[in-house]
Structure 1
Amino acid sequence: MTSIGGAEMVDWKLAVATATRLVRPGPEVGRDEAREVVAELRRHAKTSEEHVRAFTRMAPPPGGPEDPAARDTPVLVVDRAGWIKANVAGFRAVLTPLLEKMQDRRGGVPGGAVLGAVGGKVTGVELGMLLSFLASRVLGQYETFAPATGELPGAANGGRLLLVAPNIVHVERELEVDPHDFRLWVCLHEETHRTQFTAVPWLRDHIEGEIQAFLGETEVDPATLLERIREAAQSLAGGRPAGQEEAAEAGEGAAERGGRSIVDLVQTPAQREILGRLTAVMSLLEGHADYVMDGVGPQVVPSVAEIREKFQQRRANGAGRLDAALRRLLGLDAKLRQYRDGERFVRAVVDAVGMDGFNRVWTSPNTLPTKAEIAKPADWVTRVHGRPEQ
């Protein structure tokens, strides 16, 4: 737990316990079927690695076994509880500097006394509620920063790929698609993320540096952060945060204006600039994964067209009013846009300069696209290749 001479800002163990207790049970799967699913996901992850590297022409740089950049990252097939534990560890690693800063400030700000008494427990419970919501929705995830543990191993640089087996089974049943094709299709997307970070050694440190710079600029008082988390938790409990009742009645446009996102904690010009760069990077990574999945899919996933159409509809529609409210509050709507905008960028650049020309994006932080270039790929082509898009 993050603590500086007093009560913790977040009770991480309580967050894990709360999320594990509240998370919905997975689909009914017999023991033999569960073993088969796990084994198949592992096989598909290995097969996907070969397909993705061949299609993208990306591979870890040459180096000895002691070279962290060249070392493979593990693929872990986990249940929802395993995903929760891994993500709490990741949050803890990334957020500790910010929480220490807030710990120093909380005694002198409104709400600080309350947080001093019960804040760690309250925040732990409410973070657990949020994770219980997300744990039933994530199919796979490349974890960049979480430290390795005995239960959840990772590479020396902190990377590991998680495939959440019960969620994959749930979605393949919900969409009524071929389960073997769907599992391979999911692995292609997630393996692309694994390839991005293992083939581009500087990428992890660059993103971590941007995140820490963003957090370093944060001037949010603890009471405000707790208020945002409480709003999300109230949505999960069946309530509605202030302002969303009117927004829901006034229509979608009003909902966009009335609903507040945790990302809305951004306050300073420096934060907005950093967030713009992070948004561009995440759009690139997510869009690249979708592009690769679509590029490889037709050759190795027979029913890819059906899967893609049904999954896109599911991704766009969510799971109802509660899901939509949480997506707005957590900023997940922005993530959906990242898939779409990033995929358009990658496709346009590859069409203009080929895969090798596109791969110059991985040369250094200076060759990453800006947020404006994600929207106008021709500008990136001109800047990096010195000629306009054809």
Structure 2
Amino acid sequence: MNIFRSVRAVAGAEGDGDGTGSIDWAAVADAAKNATDPGPLELAAKEREGYATDVRDARRRLREVGEVEFEVPATIEVQNRHHWIDANIRTFERVMRPVEMRGQVPLPGLTRVVNTGTMAFMLSFLGKNVLGQYDPLLLAEPPAEGEEAEHGLYFVHPNIVRVAEMLDVDYPRFRRWIAFHEVSHAAEFGAAPWLSDHLERRMEDGLEGLAEGQFDREAFKDLDTAMTAVEGYAELLMDRAFDDDYEDLREKLDEKRKSGGPVGILVRRLLGLGLKRRQYERGAAFFEAVADERGVAAASAVWEGPENLPTDEELDSPWMWISRVDP
């Protein structure tokens, strides 16, 4: 970790040659990695097999419980923090592209340095805290003809080990819990090939509005509703499929996040991580109610088409959704 080199990378942020580039993504990657200890990634053969076994078991159990067919991504990586930053630079760049294309801004040099520093700080913070990730490739370029999109399943090994130690929980059990959660997301997107396109359209609508200096409330509300369904269904599958009680893991992890200090709490709020927790809780309550009444397979009907997604009102009134989708 080298903070001086990180600051120097941000200060030297450059544009696209015509002075319009509002973020220097090469400098973002350089600064984020220089501000982040990559962490150790020496894995014995037994530990690599542990990750592979956790993923295989999660796929089998989630297929059985959810009665959904899906495959895990071909790309499954056990990463250090720098690997995760490299993998996500492209995602951040895709998401910010509509805003960047807005064109000239006042004081472009200063704006570029501030934006580059902000993005580097966000990626560094997330790189130190993300445990696992399923990458649905939102806003990615379509694959070439005859090729398939390469979704990824990532596990940030140094963070998993560090958090297991901090929480004083069994590391293999904690690692397995993370694997089940991320494979739950793979199950959703695998069972609903339309889901990525649906989320992309709402993201594009919202981002285009921001690029024009407007806030498309409906687009972001629809996106929040869809993501609440995504997070809630994953919680349902986790609850029904994980082969151990995990309430203590959730409670300890939540307590750690709440006691992360004022800076950490502020950053989580700015990054919307508190919103994600609310999505977990609200979505999980909806799907638990549906599953208790009609079974997990009935809850899985949400992925048959975008028309089956719950509305914002239905998330708080599961019976409305049941009556509409499974009368």
* TM norm structure 2: 0.86
Cα 1:127/1:385, change in 2 over 3 Å: same
Separation of aligned partners in 2, 1:333 and 1:220: 27
Shift of the alpha carbon at 1:158?
Answer: 4.4
RMSD: 2.5
Secondary structure of 1:136's match? helix
The equivalent residue for 2:167 is 175
Q: Secondary structure at the match of 2:78?
A: strand
Q: Name the counterpart of 2:98.
A: 97
Equivalent residue of 2:239, what SS?
helix
User: For the Cα contact (< 8 Å) 2:78–2:157, is it kept in 1?
Assistant: yes
SS at match of 2:210: coil
Among 5, 23, 34, which residue is 1:10 paired with? 23
Q: Determine which of 98, 102, 114 is the counterpart of 2:107.
A: 114
Deviation at residue 220 of structure 1 after TM alignment = 5.5
How big is each residue's C-alpha offset from its partner over 1:244-277, in whole Å with a ceiling of 9 and x where there is no partner? xxxxxxxxxxxxxxxxxxxxxxx43xx1111111
Separation in structure 1 between the aligned mates of residue 227 and residue 184 of structure 2, nearest angstrom: 13
Residue type at the aligned position of 2:83: G
Tell me what 2:222 maps to.
277
Q: Say if 1:143 and 1:158, in contact at 8 Å, map to a contact too.
A: no
Looking at structure 2, the residues matched to 133 and 38 of structure 1 have their Cα atoms a distance apart, in angstroms, of 26
Matched, 1:47 2:60: no
8 Å CA contact 1:284–1:342 kept in 2: the answer is yes
Are 1:192 and 2:184 counterparts? yes
Name the % identity: 30
- The 3 A distance-change label for structure 1 pair 177 and 170 is same
Aligned counterpart, 1:368: 309
The count of residues paired between Structure 1 and Structure 2 equals 308
Counterparts of 2:73 and 2:277, CA distance in 1:
29
- What's the counterpart of residue 253 of structure 1? none
> 2 CA distance for matches of 1:373 and 1:81?
41
2:321 aligned with 1:384: no
2: CA distance between counterparts of 1:193 and 1:140? 11
The 3 A distance-change label for structure 1 pair 31 and 198 is same
Q: How big is each residue's C-alpha offset from its partner over 1:121-166, in whole Å with a ceiling of 9 and x where there is no partner? A: 4422221012111111111111122769xxxxxx832421111111
**2:79 corresponds to 1:78:** yes
Letter matched to residue 97 of structure 1: P
**1:31–1:82 Cα change, 3 Å:** closer
> Is the 1:192–1:292 contact (alpha carbons within 8 Å) kept by the matching residues of 2?
yes
Structure 2 CA distance for partners of 1:92 and 1:21, relative to 1, 3 Å? same
Q: Indicate the SS of the match to 1:75.
A: strand
Which among 23, 38, 42 is matched to residue 31 of structure 1?
A: 42
1:314 match: 256
Contact 2:283/2:315 (8 A) holds in 1:
yes
CA contact (8 A) 2:99 2:211 kept: no
Does the 8 Å CA contact 1:77/1:162 hold for their aligned counterparts?
Answer: yes
| SS of corresponding position for 1:141 | strand
- Report if aligned partners of 2:98, 2:211 keep a CA contact under 8 Å in 1: no
1:349 pairs, out of 264, 267, 290, with 290
The two structures have a TM-score, normalised by structure 1, of 0.73
Partner residue of 1:87? 88
User: Structure 1: which amino acid aligns with 2:188?
Assistant: Q
Gapped regions of structure 1 (runs ≥ 5) = 61-69, 107-111, 149-154, 222-266
